[in-house]
Structure 1
């Protein structure tokens, strides 16, 4: 690992890193932190230090209860359906009495592709009830009596999920199933009441509360399960303090594992692609080691990486404790001599794949731990995850890769455009903000407005504040908003409390 510039983190927010051990060999040493040269910091602020064993971001302790799901899944690969028996103990933490509950039925967004939910039974405390469509994929039920604040109610339901034959995080192809967002989940009750936000086919159109899940999964013979959470018994998974539960199933999977600071990393990849699988494991180990240091240690026991190739035309997608990636090309093709002489080389594809893993692992902190409304404010997680790619690139990638567009250069270009330099266009002046519904009308600007410009703003904040101080504050930001939701107003208030960023925020986001 090349020598790098590292940041001293405060005694309260301890700096640490560990070895990433693969099945082939143990790699000693930890990740250091890159800071921009423009920050004016010394060349090296601190050497790597061993990681303490008990400084993971703590789960909520002694607070209010959270929703609890008990799920039974049965996958039928003949009919391409998933039978779900769901028991939900819904906790009313809204502070108000409730007379109705709202739910998200995301599979119904895929009805034109053959997807959807067929609800067989729906009961409240053992009594038959029903769900009625409120708006698109959002449905509601009337409670038989008001649910007081601080009380719980039991919901039982059975339904059949029809799985579409599409390239998607929810879909199947070639004896591989991705089963993301198949569970009927309660909508979020916010400051203005129930959040009714129908699914939109752009980005990650999900907004869910922290909950506990127990899932018993039955799949046909020959299939291997890759699921979120921890497998406590064969086919039974526990996922605590997560915003979603997801699993994949495939016949060609081969599993490989490693351990980083007490977290087991599992990679599921086609058994015909062992080199790609090993590369994914190495990239995930590196990303977790680095982000543990930068953001606070990952609190879960497991992190699963699934290489399924079924992510809807994008390079990756993410869920708490599980990410899906779709390599643009398998690394094995270079060994077979079929990479082609005119296209990018192996180093380029390795870099693209590694950065995809780094982005999706960063999501474990941004939205997974620090939540936000991904439909109304998608930049609050995607911008941080894009910014996190920069640190991974600086730490682990070679200094020169032909054709590879470094994030630092992208941030500079984006800053020039945002400030109205010679390269700017009207579209380049689009401010950060807007919902996925808004970005549907400007799809060409979506990536810039939701990913690159927020990351460029964070980069400029780091330059203004100074690297060491910024990284201390970044770790504090995660700790302050862990297991909660952050809004644009919260973001402004926190960071303006560290430094006067009002001019920078006005430039990128407009006046508050």
Structure 2
């Protein structure tokens, strides 16, 4: 995510020299949503180890799609060649089958869902939990006809605003065993932007449909089920990687943009029905509008689309160019390429500057007009570029390498901000990097450079601390880490971090351990200074 904040920049070309000056100021508003040397070896996409053979109890075969639960072949078309081998190694990941209809006004969803779920923990599970995020985000979701393996089960609503659905299992689910949950759901979509930056709303004739379906919660070995509601600011969801087969029917005049790729389409006089395959991904997102116009570029095996109303064409084209440039820079730097054959950009009425989803990003329409300034004194051209780059970088940090975005937001947001700094270094040189670095320092200055740890949960930060610390101080930690262990070692560590945790979930401890393995040094004092809570008495490595 990337949030609204004040900084301004001037860029001009003189002869063969480009001089870039950035003056960065802080916008005293809430939070952001955005929410070289040492290159590695030839890029090889990471392939997780093949899991042990899973038991095959009697489970319900799929009824919404004629595709076996462990058949990964439909997803190959959505992955670049280097990424496709991963499909043979992830039979245990959740599989969502979603079939739903959007009403004529794009304000309601009526659908069915089946979930193939495998117990990947070392303990037996007797209950599953699902997030019902619309009940927190100004809308409403109702679930009916819940079944496990074709047999009715009684689901229980609980937590804040009935935002958690508890489904007791008929039989305890042993480690490595699988089950099928089936249900119907109806979702009402708000017409105003509410909490968490309007990620779920239909405003200005543009539908932003995030988190609209029941989403299985994450079970952690040490924490158990992650079912605490998200803070009003920051990201909403912490999710495991999954696969999605989706069929959506919508009014024919509405352009539909989603995670994944479209594989089939049928039409009637009034509607069109799209079949979508998406995965491996951590979430499924959809945007729709009768006003969308599409602009397209191609980068290697990936087609990039940018969607916006016609009056925002200049901004849509600028975001498209920046996305292509940043994808190219990050492909080279990280040595693990963007894995999908499609990348989409949509503009919505979000009150953030930008929000990341797997394979798709949403940017606020307020920054698309290049002739105006959403933030006084700051040209929209500068704001649109930095926001786009930040959200593109999230495709590696959050999308590919997952983390608990509620409890450890620094692992994706601080690292994504650091990646944005690398973009300015690679594209504009030292002056460009220094300009963006100034904006990070100015963010931190919002708290008078307070020595607040960057590794806290979102809910632990007060007032404007979250933006100042996680987005300002956090990326400066990674810069300091690179200084301590050396640029070449840091580049090797970061490339290995992506390869090792691709499609998985990283933690503060695993990142620290991997960095120490690469430098052969003890980084505990540095992490105590920057990352760990002050009261932590973690032992030295």
Question: Shared topology, TM-score over 0.5?
Answer: yes
Query: Alpha-carbon deviation of 1:12?
Result: 5.2
- Note the 1:28-427 alignment, pairs <5 A: 55=82, 59=86, 61-78=88-105, 80-110=107-137, 113=138, 115-136=139-160, 137-167=163-193, 168-192=198-222, 193-234=224-265, 235-295=274-334, 296-308=336-348, 310-311=349-350, 313-331=351-369, 334=371, 339=372, 343-344=376-377, 348-397=379-428, 406-411=435-440, 425=448
CA-to-aligned-CA distance 1:85-113 (integer Å, 9 cap, x gap): 11111122223322111111111103xx3
What CA deviation, in whole Å up to 9, does each residue of 1:369-418 have, x standing for no partner? 111111111111101111111122223359879xx993322455678x7x
- SS state of the match for residue 273, structure 1? helix
Cα distance in 1 between the residues matched to 2:103 and 2:481:
51
Q: Evaluate the alpha carbon distance shift between residue 123 and residue 77 of structure 1 in structure 2; reply closer, same or farther with a 3 A threshold.
A: same
Say what the alpha-carbon RMSD is for the aligned residues.
Answer: 2.7
Indicate conservation of the 8 Å contact 1:229/1:302, yes or no: yes
8 Å CA contact retained: 1:328, 1:353:
no
State the alpha-carbon separation in 1 of the partners of residues 278 and 492 from structure 2.
29
CA distance 1:3–1:103, change in 2 (3 Å): farther
In the TM superposition, residue 162 of structure 1 has moved relative to its aligned partner by 0.6
RCO higher in 1 or 2 (8 Å CA, sep ≥ 6)? 2
Provide the secondary structure at the position in 2 that maps to 1:219. strand
Q: Over residues 188-246 of structure 1, what are the superposed CA-to-partner deviations in whole Å (9 max), with x where a residue is unaligned?
A: 11113222222331110211111110111111131000100011112111001101001
> In the aligned structure 2, how far is the partner of 1:127 from the partner of 1:91?
18
Give distance in 2, aligned partners of 1:400 and 1:466: 21
Q: Is the 8 A contact 2:454 2:530 kept in 1?
A: yes
What runs of 5+ residues in structure 1 fail to find an aligned partner? 16-52, 418-422
What is the CA distance between 1:62 and its match in structure 2?
Answer: 2.8
Farther off after superposition, 61-70 or 281-290: 61-70
Q: Deviations over 1:306-349 (max 9, x none)?
A: 012x22x11000111111001434335x2xxxx48x9536xx32
Distance 1:9 1:99 in 2: 47
Q: Is 1:492 the equivalent of 2:516?
A: no
CA distance in 2, matches of 1:91, 1:158: 21
Change (3 A) 1:459 1:242: same
Task: Answer yes or no: is the 8 Å Cα contact 1:13–1:475 preserved in 2.
Answer: no
1:350-387 CA deviation, whole Å, 9 max, x = no partner? Answer: 12101101111111111111111111111111011111
In the superposition, relative to structure 1, how do residues 472 and 54 fare at CA in structure 2: closer, same or farther (>3 Å)?
A: farther
**1:428 counterpart = 2:450:** yes
Which one is further off, 155-164 or 121-130?
121-130
Q: 1:10 to 1:329 in 2, by over 3 A?
A: closer
Quote the Cα distance in structure 1 between the aligned partners of 2:315 and 2:120: 45
Task: Please give the alpha-carbon distance, in whole angstroms, between the structure 1 residues aligned to 2:352 and 2:513.
Answer: 33
Change in CA separation of 1:495 and 1:173 when aligned onto 2, cut-off 3 Å: same
> Residues 355 and 389 of structure 1 are in contact (CA less than 8 Å); yes or no, is this contact kept in structure 2?
yes
C-alpha displacement at 1:64, in angstroms?
4.5
Q: Distance in 2 between matches of 1:128 and 1:291?
A: 48
- Are 2:244 and 2:277, in contact at CA under 8 Å, matched by a contact in 1? yes
Q: Say if 1:7 and 1:97 are closer, same or farther in 2 by CA, change over 3 A.
A: same
Distance 1:360 1:492 in 2: 24
391-400 or 479-488: bigger deviation:
391-400
Query: Is contact 2:368–2:384 with CA below 8 Å preserved after alignment?
Result: no
Query: Alpha carbons of 1:141 and 1:373: their partners in 2 closer, same or farther (altered >3 Å)?
Result: same
Cα distance in 1 for partners of 2:366, 2:428 equals: 18
Task: Name the CA distance, whole Å, in 1 between partners of 2:256 and 2:44.
Answer: 36
Q: Contact 1:64–1:93 at 8 Å: present in 2 too?
A: no
Residues in 1 aligned to 2:417 and 2:401: alpha-carbon distance in whole angstroms: 15
Q: Distance in 2 between matches of 1:255 and 1:99?
A: 47
Q: 1:453 aligns with which of 462, 473, 476?
A: 473
CA contact (8 A) 1:60 1:483 kept: no
TM-score scaled by length of structure 2: 0.77
CA–CA separation in structure 1 for the residues paired with 2:228 and 2:303: 35
Contact kept? 2:40, 2:491, Cα under 8 Å: no
Q: TM-score, normalised by structure 1?
A: 0.82
* Structure 2 SS opposite 1:182: coil
Q: Take 1:180 and 1:188, find their aligned partners in 2: how far apart are those partners?
A: 18
